[in-house]
Amino acid sequence: MSGAVEANADGLIGPTHSYAGLSPGNLASSLNKGEASNPRAAVLQGLDKMKALADLGLPQFVLPPHERPNIPFLRTLGFAGTDAEVLERAWTDAPSFAAAACSASPMWAANAATVTPSADAADGRVHFTPANLVTNLHRSLEHQQTKRALDALFPDAERFAVHDALSPVAHLADEGAANHVRLCAEHGAPGVNLMVWGREAFEAWDDPYPARQTREASQAVMRRHRASGAVLARQGRAAIAGGTFHNDVVCVGALQTLFFHDLAFEDTAGTKAAIRRAAEGLFEPIFLEVASTDLPLADAISSYLFNSMLIQAPGDDRLTLICPTETRDNPLSHAVAQSLAGSNGPIGRVEYVDVRQSMRNGGGPACLRLRVVLTEAELAATNPAMRLTDELYGRLSAWGERHYRDRLTPGDLADPALLDESRRALDELTGLLGLGAGFYPFQR
Ligand code: SUG
């Protein structure tokens, strides 16, 4: 099968975007804890990135933010009264849970799900497993609404299989596509699915930072998708200890090319050999490995060189690396990027996008998008109302300007006015994205 394209579905950044320091092991999240955020700038930066990709000719979809503050979750903890009272009581009695209930973390769509294109699935459908994200409380609240959004975007059950998340238990901790890289000769051809895991389900783990993906979760996702070409690789333990909370912080791949830091995998030689074996008869993998001596892990993480989008723009025969501006600001990362673009290798061009608001929570360009390979017929079966056109970009930008605050401290998350503002914004958004009334719990 040929003629497939790689679409991106980005998480639209929600009105409660804030720096609450909720993710241990994510250095940016911890470092910026308590700082004031700018939700308006954040949503506009995200939209500009989406538009840049759409302008390059790649299909671009919008995944709606979730309802936050998450009042239904707080009610499950026994907080009662009006919605404003629930929020106030939760902030008084259980502030950490209240903060989790306010996070705009669904913006990081790379963690929304793992996707298997139809070319790799035995039943010829595109498969999605929303990630249970159990490692962090705030993120564990995402998967049900994520499934709803994926059902809305991929409504045709003949072509798309949107599964439930794996059981939300630590043994099956799953962070979605952030730990998955698909390599292939062309998007529509059968691929190699590199699944990177941090620990085993029953392994004792007392390292300072959590390993967010279990081997068994990766295996289960591949099994239920009936996916071919799976290669499982252990994430480098030193990488996790250094702040690599997802593999996509130090690794990205597209088509035949895998671009990664030398600490990304526990066994680099073994991982490369396994990829080569799985690719036999399909394509010749190209490995671009960056040595710690050229780029120490700390620089790779702070500059997010590898959390870039690696894409092939229509009409180009080489790849484009779309990096955050932080990569350009780091001399060592910039030098690596420059040398890639200046070489005759698979990456012909490097571009920079400003997603600084998200970056300060550890979310780069690659975190904000979920890649979905689609054939022409599958693309035609997606929900057109959720596809970013120039017109929708204009409407969503105006919507963000109108509804979002330009300054939010974590303390402001307790403000009941923010609850009303957010609901007004999301209520209007359901119309803009054609989601229908009842998409959000507060609308039911
Ligand atoms: O899960 N940050 C997110 C960033 C996710 C990045 N995604 C990928 N690498 N694919 C996380 O750690 C921080 C929220 C806060 O601290 O307020 C946060 O959830």
How many A from CA of 381 to the centre of ligand 1? 31
How many A from CA of 245 to the centre of ligand 1? 9
CA torsion, ordered 14, 19, 25, 26, to nearest 10 deg: 60
Give residue-wise pLDDT tens across range 262-298: 999 999 999 999 999 999 999 999 999 999 999 999 9
Give residue-wise pLDDT tens across range 6-17: 999 999 999 999
- CATH classification for the domain delimited by 5-68+103-439, as one of 1.10.443.10, 3.10.129.10, 3.75.10.20, 3.30.420.40: 3.75.10.20
Indicate which residue's Cα is closest to atom 11 of ligand 1: 23
Give residue-wise pLDDT tens across range 89-108: 999 999 999 999 999 999 99
CA-25 nearest atom, ligand 1: 12
Average pLDDT over residues 382-407: 98
Q: With 80 as the cut, is the pLDDT of residue 72 above it?
A: yes
The answer to whether 403 and 396 have CB atoms below 8 angstroms apart is no
Give residue-wise pLDDT tens across range 212-228: 999 999 999 999 999 99
Give CA–CA dist 182/197, Å, rounded.
15
Burial of residue 52 (number of CB atoms within 10 Å: 0-12, 13-18, 19+) = middle
Q: Which residues on adjacent β-strands are paired with residue 194?
A: 181, 231
Each domain of the chain, given as residue ranges in start order, spans 5-68+103-439
Identify the pLDDT of residue 437.
81
CA-23 nearest atom, ligand 1: 12
How many A from CA of 314 to the centre of ligand 1? 31
Q: With 90 as the cut, is the pLDDT of residue 3 above it?
A: no
Q: With 80 as the cut, is the pLDDT of residue 261 above it?
A: yes
How many A from CA of 111 to the centre of ligand 1? 9
Strands 347-353 and 319-324: parallel
Residues within 6 Å of ligand 1 by CB? 18-23, 26, 29, 103, 105, 108, 110-111, 139, 178, 245-246, 248-249, 361-363, 367
CA-29 nearest atom, ligand 1: 16
Which of 8, 16, 23, 146 is the pocket-test mutation for ligand 1 (most atoms within 8 Å of CB)?
23
CA nearest neighbour of 363 among 213, 247, 249, 238: 249
404-408's contacts with Cβ under 8 Å and 24+ in sequence apart are: 404/15, 404/39, 404/40, 404/42, 404/43, 405/15, 405/38, 405/39, 405/40, 406/38, 406/39, 406/40, 406/41, 407/36, 407/37, 407/38, 408/16, 408/17, 408/18, 408/36, 408/37, 408/38, 408/39
Identify the pLDDT of residue 2.
57
Give CA–CA dist 381/375, Å, rounded.
10
Indicate which residue's Cα is closest to atom 10 of ligand 1: 367
Q: With 50 as the cut, is the pLDDT of residue 234 above it?
A: yes
Q: Where are the alpha helices (DSSP H) in 103-214?
A: 137-140, 143-153
How many A from CA of 216 to the centre of ligand 1? 22
CA nearest neighbour of 312 among 275, 355, 352, 348: 348
Query: Catalytic site residue 175?
Result: yes
CA-20 nearest atom, ligand 1: 17
Which member of 138, 246, 334, 403 is catalytic?
246
Which pTM value belongs to this model? 0.98
CA nearest neighbour of 418 among 78, 82, 87: 87
CA-136 nearest atom, ligand 1: 1
Q: With 70 as the cut, is the pLDDT of residue 389 above it?
A: yes
Give residue-wise pLDDT tens across range 116-154: 999 999 999 999 999 999 999 999 999 999 999 999 999
Which member of 184, 266, 367, 403 is catalytic?
367
- Please report where in the chains the tokens 């003949």 appear, as a residue: 158
Which member of 175, 216, 266, 326 is catalytic?
175
Give the chain's mean pLDDT: 98
CA-307 nearest atom, ligand 1: 9
Which of 8, 16, 108 is the pocket-test mutation for ligand 1 (most atoms within 8 Å of CB)?
108
Give residue-wise pLDDT tens across range 321-372: 999 999 999 999 999 999 999 999 999 999 999 999 999 999 999 999 999 9
Indicate which residue's Cα is closest to atom 7 of ligand 1: 367
How many A from CA of 212 to the centre of ligand 1? 12
Query: Catalytic site residue 246?
Result: yes
Query: Catalytic site residue 203?
Result: no
Indicate which residue's Cα is closest to atom 2 of ligand 1: 361
Identify the pLDDT of residue 1.
44
How many A from CA of 31 to the centre of ligand 1? 12
